């Protein structure tokens, strides 16, 4: 991150002093918002900086949201020939990679980017990114068992951290329970293993949120670029 006047000066548009005047005159936009005060910092490789209506530099980092369908492997290549991420991103015209992974049979929100630094941060446990899943399990789960999920269940790799669980409802005819669960750990098959641990196997698992991002509105198998506000929210993490 560098001061805006330094970035503008480095692009050869003006001296640093002149760049300050340009900023104060309201002629500069960062990610679609006018910046007319000094001291604001930006990242020229990520932020869209516009001076007098002209983009200062092309941004080089891209961020997409993908609705991974069930039956797709979270890799770019599958030696067994199963469907994988690359089957859905061919039209993007650039190489992007998944941030973290979803199981073969889990559907939902997956972030794709060519920003390796951000990808590493988002998947590192110390950042504790909150992820919300909509879960359907077989059986009518008693409220006390949902409390167990909230408080933590013992798995073979240790006790799970407290989780948020909101019951959506029971389908008594099909003997199913549906709920939302939010966790911030990223252990392998965590939600499935937590539900197994309370005796109710997962039938359907969908990630609906990841940090500040929500899947809302995106069709299954579809990819869309994050808008400027969403990228900013991600950067704040």
205 and 199 Cβ atoms separated by less than 8 Å? no
Q: Which of 103, 185, 196, 204 binds ligand URA (CB under 6 A)?
A: 103
Q: Which of 102, 109, 112, 198 binds ligand URA (CB under 6 A)?
A: 102
Smallest gap, in angstroms, from Cβ of residue 190 to ligand URA?
4
Q: Which residues pair with 34 in a beta bridge?
A: 29
Interaction of residue 206 with ligand URA, rule CB under 6 A: no
| Residues 77, 99: Cα–Cα separation, whole Å | 15
The residue (of 30 and 191) whose beta carbon lies closer to ligand URA is 191
DSSP the chain: -EEHHHHHHHTTSS-HHHHHHHHHTT-EEETTEE--STT-EE-TTTS-EEETTEESS-----EEEEEEPTT-BSSS--TT---BGGGTSGGGSS--EEES---TT-EEEEEEES-HHHHHHHHSGGG---EEEEEEEES---HHHHHHHHH--EETTEEPPP-EEEEEEEETTTTEEEEEEEE----TTHHHHHHHHTT--EEEEEEEEETTEE-TTPPTT-EEEPPHHHHHHHHH-
The residue (of 36 and 164) whose beta carbon lies closer to ligand URA is 164
The residue (of 43 and 103) whose beta carbon lies closer to ligand URA is 103
Residues 6+ apart with CB under 8 A from 164: 150, 180, 181, 182
Interaction of residue 190 with ligand URA, rule CB under 6 A: yes
Interaction of residue 110 with ligand URA, rule CB under 6 A: no
The residue (of 103 and 228) whose beta carbon lies closer to ligand URA is 103
Q: Which of 30, 49, 191, 226 binds ligand URA (CB under 6 A)?
A: 191
Interaction of residue 177 with ligand URA, rule CB under 6 A: no
Among the listed residues 155, 164, 156, the one whose alpha carbon sits nearest the alpha carbon of residue 184: 164
**Region binding ligand URA by CB under 6 A among candidate stretches 55-63, 98-106, 115-123, 144-152:** 98-106
Residues tagged active-site: 103
How many residues touch ligand URA (CB under 6 A)? 8
Q: Which of 5, 106, 132, 177 binds ligand URA (CB under 6 A)?
A: 106
Interaction of residue 136 with ligand URA, rule CB under 6 A: no
Smallest gap, in angstroms, from Cβ of residue 154 to ligand URA?
16
The residue (of 195 and 231) whose beta carbon lies closer to ligand URA is 195
- What is the contact surface with ligand URA in residues (CB under 6 A)? 102-103, 106, 189-192, 205
């Amino acid at each position: 991150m560098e001061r805006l006047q330094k970035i503008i000066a480095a692009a050869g548009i003006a001296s640093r002093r002149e760049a300050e005047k340009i900023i104060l005159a309201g002629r500069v936009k960062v990610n679609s918002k006018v910046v007319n005060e000094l001291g604001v910092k930006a990242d020229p490789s990520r932020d869209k900086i516009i001076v007098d209506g002209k983009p200062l530099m092309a941004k080089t980092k891209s961020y997409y949201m993908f609705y991974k369908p069930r039956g797709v492997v979270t890799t770019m290549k599958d030696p067994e020939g199963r469907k994988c991420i690359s089957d859905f991103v061919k039209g993007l015209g650039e190489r992007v990679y998944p941030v973290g992974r979803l199981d073969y049979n889990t559907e939902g929100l997956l972030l794709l980017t060519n920003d390796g630094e951000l990808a590493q941060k988002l998947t590192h446990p110390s950042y504790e990114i909150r992820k919300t899943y909509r879960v359907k399990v077989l059986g009518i789960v008693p409220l006390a068992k949902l409390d167990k999920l909230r408080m933590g269940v013992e798995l073979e790799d240790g006790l799970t951290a407290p989780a948020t669980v909101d019951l959506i409802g029971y389908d008594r005819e099909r003997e199913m329970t549906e709920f939302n669960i939010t966790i911030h750990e990223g252990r392998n098959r965590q939600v499935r293993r937590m539900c197994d641990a309370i005796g109710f196997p997962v039938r359907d698992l969908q990630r609906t949120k990841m940090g500040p991002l929500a899947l809302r509105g995106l069709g299954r198998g579809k990819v869309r670029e994050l808008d400027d506000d969403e990228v900013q929210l991600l950067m704040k993490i």
